[in-house]
A and B are shown apart, each in its own frame.
Chain A
């Protein structure tokens, strides 16, 4: 099968799975099997493409012209390939985990859940493979809409409120800012294609660049840049698999991925650093990193704390873009991977704790480590990875972001990254420490608690293992990321 067809297949499988899911809605075992098989099939297709891309292939395909000059088309480049691999790859453990979680927590409407989940993955892969900003925007909105039912899943008043916030912020930012930015870009350059080195240089008054960048940065609400981050904690009312895959990996990473993509292929790193247009973004991202971390410390709700941690970590990637050097892009892209593994593990642990012990508050976790050692052990590993400690994956992405900050002589940014690590320690490590080393206040109630179902545990262990493995195999990832074109291709 040609790479182009594989590309379409990688989007089509998750996009068409919902029909099968709807068909088997009444047969839970078959339905869940379909989910798992679809996730594996998608990943197989993506993996195939990954190998091709590593070999230098750049499959591209134009589906149709939506409006004169505006093409719905796909083109794979290293960055998008990376995101697609992460999103589709982590779909497999998450779909397994969903089985354990949704059944363990006795959630209703599991078919609707599975359907929307598959669509969201299709949209994420679509975003990853988008050949131009216009296509990307389309899938970006599909992703928003398809995750709304997932956030509102519980249908309680809180769920509705959270989902409303979720939708309101993502829609407002994307329509009010991102779409305008998109049309502006189209207006001045006559294209929305992603091109190495950017398309804007020479078309736009340098004085206006910061404004256009602002429209993009705030328009990509999924990147959760402060002050448009509120949707992320609000989305935590969703069932945990959603928080794990979508709000730690697919959706939020779609956001920061778009930031990276826009920075690299629309503005161009060179253009950004030449005009200094991203300076303000750098400071905002730095502030976002710190403030979100501080807020995280004050949260007692486990998922809320993890959500604010995500807000903070996402800004690392935005920071990588804003530093406007190759190492910044490499660090940011690397952080997409490393943070994905760490945060998905953390959320899965939170879900496992909820399924096994029905606890959502950190203050209730004392002594649980004895009952759920595997869960909390994996939590510790993932937390260390998020903090950025060796030998866990997070250390490397932080290293490259620091290198980028050093290259641009922003010592304060290095300081911010350091302080952020410590804040991460302060809000993440007390959780397993309390669970393992403090005594529970109500031992009787905890007496019956045991580990979450195997379907939950295995994905957790997988993700935690990923954090370790990536640390040692980072060389390959780094080599791969160097393929992201930074400079404009010389014209033939």
Chain B
């Protein structure tokens, strides 16, 4: 069935076979090789749409190969491989199957040439990923998983509604750039917005990611949001609204990231902020900005993944990711610390790391277009990223106060995965040309100008200084065991209490009404029984006289009628 071929199929087929591969080394190897097979399918293909066919009058294209889909496909595949390596120790078939399905769906979505295929894989990512949360097997993760699932599937159904409207409006379902304006496109944007964690649509991330298993969170951090960024780049490049959304997105999670105690949640907030950069890039929409967004997505897959891996390794060895319980881990987990610092440097956009070469594309794009305030806001967001993730996170985990934890260094699989990811971050930073060559638009850009390198170093150094100073004085908000309320409060607390209230009200009204109706019915039945029951006047055996009376009565009645 060559016409049904897409890289996703390799993953899905592989996922179905996972239970039959013996656990341990063989299965680990198997999981590592699947992404390789996936890449082989599309690598080297000339751009174009493959495997197109007609389904019920709709033009389905399972595989569209162009630079944009290829770079995301490649990044996803690589990340899937690294994640598999990271999860080498894992013996949970459910998570392994879910991982493959999840990665496959994400890659399938990236290569989808039409909206239906996109929808199919879009939902695929939602369903497959929730198992990574549920696999934690606790009450809390069950509830978080349910919330995550409802929102993710919600995104999917909004997408399909948008597609329906779009199909109705345009008569086609091919997935190309759209103009925001009709209900169809607004709906599609909303669907993407949920997965992309636009402000106020973002809560699922902070709710679900820290609720997953050790390896699950790493995998979750890779695909869903970047898929959404891809969809924005494909569907809504140059949509001005996205610039403002992106700016808001980049800025507001910073405060939460500074307050959070759970390091995995800190990372989700910082991920959310980084996504803001990409959304701005999509919104600016110039070839450079698109390149920037794509590059930043790729770079952030790896450095954010690296950070999640490091925190995951800590959790794996200590049983907690709470900042309040950690600290001083550099003693026993120095390698993890080093890799974490590489990730931190990347997100801080330190020169010669991947963050530097990707973020500067977006900032430059804003700069070329003279979008001063956007530029300024992004700069502020960068500063925030340096502060909360570049400095605070490693500080709380590895330095800070000694929590007297002396865990063992992370296991080999994790270390190797982190090492490779860290190497990638640095390689991209040192040799940006390789990344740039893969970007969708052909734009010349040189990140390592003298000015640019120096100012970025200035920024990082001064912020670090400020941080060191503030830490010495205890000026930063303290990490405490706490819950920081976010917008999810509205549906986790407000909405349920409204529903409870309504339910109580409706229940009372219903009770009252049904009691009323029931008593009326009872009365009716009683009255009927009184009249028609065995002893009732209608059923009773009347004496002959009474019968005759009845005859006389009827006769009288009809006779009256006679003389009318």
Please list the residues of chain A having a beta carbon within 8 angstroms of any beta carbon in chain B: 384, 387-391, 395, 398-399, 402-403, 405-407, 411, 414-415, 417-418, 421-422, 425-426, 429-430, 433-434, 436-439, 474-475, 478-479
Contacts and interface: CB of A to CB of B under 8 A. Distances in A.
B93 to A, nearest CB: 10
B471 interface: no
Interface string B129-141: 0000011110101
B164 A389 contact: no
B146 A387 contact: no
29 contacts: A384-B127, A389-B126, A389-B153, A390-B123, A390-B124, A391-B120, A398-B160, A399-B164, A402-B164, A405-B164, A406-B164, A407-B168, A418-B154, A418-B157, A418-B158, A418-B161, A422-B150, A422-B154, A422-B157, A426-B150, A429-B149, A430-B142, A433-B134, A433-B146, A434-B142, A437-B134, A437-B135, A474-B56, A478-B56
Contacts of A391: 120, 124
Nearest to B168: A406
A433 B146 CA distance: 9
Contacts of A402: 160-161, 164
Given A389-B153, A414-B164, A430-B146, 14 more contacts: A388-B157, A389-B127, A395-B120, A402-B160, A403-B167, A418-B154, A421-B157, A422-B150, A433-B134, A433-B146, A436-B94, A437-B141, A437-B142, A474-B55
Contacts of B123: 389-390
Contact of A411 (B134, B139, B183): B183
A434 B143 CA distance: 10
B384 interface: no
B146 A426 contact: yes
What is the interface of chain B mostly: helix, strand, loop, or mixed? helix
Contacts of A422: 150, 153-154, 157
Contacts of B55: 474-475
Contacts of B146: 426, 429-430, 433
Q: Which 3 A-B pairs have the closest CB atoms?
A: A390-B120, A406-B168, A402-B164
Nearest to A472: B4
Contact of A433 (B126, B142, B164, B183): B142
Contacts of B157: 388, 417-418, 421-422
Contacts of A433: 134, 142, 145-146
B164 A425 contact: no
Contacts of A417: 157, 161
Interface string B197-236: 0000000000000000000000000000000000000000
A480 to B, nearest CB: 11
B269 to A, nearest CB: 26
Contacts of A405: 164
Contacts of A398: 160
A391 B165 CA distance: 21
B137 A439 contact: yes
Contacts, number: 82
Nearest to B121: A390
Nearest to A421: B157
A425 B168 contact: no
A399 B58 CA distance: 12
Nearest to A406: B168
B156 interface: yes
Contacts of A439: 137
B150 to A, nearest CB: 5
Contacts of B135: 437
Contact of A475 (B56, B126, B127, B145): B56
A438 B124 CA distance: 23
B86 interface: no
Contacts of B165: 406, 411, 414
Contacts of B126: 389
Q: Kindly name the residue among A411, A415, A421 whose own CB sees the greatest number of chain B CB atoms within 10 A.
A: A421
Interface in B495-549: none
B96 to A, nearest CB: 15
B153 A421 contact: yes
Contacts of B161: 402, 414-415, 417-418
B156 A403 contact: no
A403 B164 CA distance: 6
Q: Kindly name the residue among B56, B134, B137, B146 whose own CB sees the greatest number of chain A CB atoms within 10 A.
A: B56
A407 B171 CA distance: 12
Nearest to B4: A472
Contacts of A429: 146, 149
Nearest to B117: A390
B89 to A, nearest CB: 20
Nearest to B167: A403
B356 interface: no
A433 B157 CA distance: 21
A135 B136 CA distance: 57
Contacts of A475: 55-56
B139 A438 contact: yes
Contacts of B277: none
A299 to B, nearest CB: 14
A417 B158 CA distance: 10
B137 A399 contact: no
A438 B142 contact: yes
B56 A436 contact: no
Q: Kindly name the residue among A438, A439, A479 whose own CB sees the greatest number of chain B CB atoms within 10 A.
A: A438
Given A403-B167, A407-B168, A437 B137 contact: yes
B119 interface: yes
Contacts of B164: 399, 402-403, 405-406, 414
A387 B139 CA distance: 23
B149 A425 contact: yes
Contacts of B120: 390-391, 395
B551 to A, nearest CB: 35
A439 B136 CA distance: 11
Nearest to A388: B157
Nearest to B169: A406
A421 B151 CA distance: 11
Contact of A438 (B127, B137, B149, B168): B137
A318 B123 CA distance: 26
Nearest to A478: B56
Contacts of B119: 390
A421 B160 CA distance: 11
B149 A399 contact: no
A418 B158 CA distance: 7
A358 to B, nearest CB: 24
Contacts of A414: 161, 164-165
Contacts of A384: 127
A408 to B, nearest CB: 10
B230 to A, nearest CB: 19
Contacts of A399: 160, 164
A242 to B, nearest CB: 29
Nearest to A474: B56
Interface string B161-178: 100110110000000000
A433 B143 CA distance: 10
A415 B167 CA distance: 16
A437 B161 CA distance: 32
Nearest to B184: A406
A417 B163 CA distance: 14
A390 B149 CA distance: 15
B462 to A, nearest CB: 48
A395 B94 CA distance: 24
B134 A425 contact: no
Nearest to B139: A438
Given A422-B153, A475-B55, A403 B168 contact: yes
A422 B126 CA distance: 13
A483 B124 CA distance: 32
Contacts of A407: 168
A425 B154 CA distance: 9
Contacts of B154: 418, 422
A146 to B, nearest CB: 30
Contacts of A425: 149-150, 153
Contacts of A403: 164, 167-168
